[in-house]
Chain A
Amino acid sequence: EADIYQTPRYLVIGTGKKITLECSQTMGHDKMYWYQQDPGMELHLIHYSYGVNSTEKGDLSSESTVSRIRTEHFPLTLESARPSHTSQYLCASSRGETQYFGPGTRLLVL
């Protein structure tokens, strides 16, 4: 099982602010993912990476961006937060097909 960490766990921020959600894993997994999840709803893939310097957009259109400069680190950035970005953001990593998730970041944009 992967050790995967997300910070912050909770974030309340005003409209227009730039934010970066951090995700790190210590298992050396090549693949990492970001999902957006509204309460009680399914997970929607917004970004993924299959390795360093590789990033792809997921199924759900998102105004966020990601980078993968190091294997263990996969930060997600919102250049200008809006209330519509209020949601839970989940990071996951995998070596094969089984994804292991972090605890999530709950974002509230006022």
Chain B
Amino acid sequence: GESVGLHLPTLSVQEGDNSIINCAYSNSASDYFIWYKQESGKGPQFIIDIRSNMDKRQGQRVTVLLNKTVKHLSLQIAATQPGDSAVYFCAENISPGSTLTFGKGTMLLVSP
């Protein structure tokens, strides 16, 4: 079946560094992609999303890049802070009427 997956299970960075979390998806028909942050003991929190007609979208300290040629999605976090430590999930949606498919998470560890 179709799947969404992440390349790295754990990413360790120093405070102030830029972080890049990667995600591969297999369904070329996917139209919508979203990144969530999940802190320990909490539900996933929306970070940023992007549609397939875009290749880049920026938020506050975060940027999502979409490469449809290689079916790759990435989340860039600028000037990573200890509060960014969490598990990050990507998810995809094939169409507005379907449900999100989540990939395996990547744990981001930020050391001071």
Contacts and interface: CB of A to CB of B under 8 A. Distances in A.
Q: Which among B32, B34, B36, B44 has the highest number of chain A CB atoms within 10 Å?
A: B44
Interface in A48-73: 48, 58
B104 A41 contact: yes
Contacts of B87: 40
A77 interface: no
Interface residues of A, number: 22
Contacts of A42: 89, 102-105
Contact of B43 (A1, A96, A101): A101
B45 A48 contact: no
Interface in B22-45: 32, 34, 36, 41-45
Interface of A: 1, 6, 33, 40-45, 48, 58, 90, 92, 96-104
